[in-house]
């Protein structure tokens, strides 16, 4: 296990590249206007429960990809260490220390 007390680089709360708070949705750079309009139309037509299900599926996919990245960088980590490193990335050092006060931080 690699342990460190160095804080992770903080990420400022910058506005999303795909949302403008003044003008609504912005077409992502890699998406055509027609494809974006179709995507919005579909999301609006499927209802809230389906949109929430999609959000959970996307969140799960991001978690799995992130944990795979941790595993590839630290092949000797146990499953518990991978989870701890993932928690550090997603929750931040302060919350991880609050939840696991007796554990040293592991590098993600």
Which tokens hold the place of 26?
Answer: 């912005």
**pLDDT bucket at 76, cuts 50 / 70 / 90:** very high
Q: Are 108 and 83 in contact (CB under 8 A)?
A: no
pLDDT per residue as tens digits for the range 1-49? 445 555 554 444 444 445 556 666 678 888 898 999 998 899 889 989 9
pTM: 0.65
Q: Give percent of the chain above pLDDT 90.
A: 63
Mean pLDDT of 43-69: 94
Q: Are 4 and 107 in contact (CB under 8 A)?
A: yes
Residue 86 has pLDDT above 80, yes or no: yes
Which tokens hold the place of 23?
Answer: 């003008």
- CA dist 89 and 83 (Å) reads 10
What is the model's pLDDT at position 26?
Answer: 78
What is the model's pLDDT at position 10?
Answer: 43
What is the model's pLDDT at position 13?
Answer: 43
């Amino acid at each position: 296990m690699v342990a460190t007390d160095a804080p992770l680089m903080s990420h400022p709360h910058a506005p999303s590249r795909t949302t403008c708070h003044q003008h609504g949705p912005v077409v992502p750079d890699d998406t055509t206007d027609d494809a974006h309009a179709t995507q919005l139309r579909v999301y609006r037509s499927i209802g809230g429960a389906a949109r929430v299900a999609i959000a959970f599926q996307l969140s799960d996919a991001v978690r799995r990809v992130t944990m795979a990245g941790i595993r590839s960088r630290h092949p000797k980590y146990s499953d518990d260490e991978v989870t701890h490193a993932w928690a550090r990335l997603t929750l931040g050092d302060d919350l991880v220390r609050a939840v696991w006060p007796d554990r040293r931080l592991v590098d993600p």
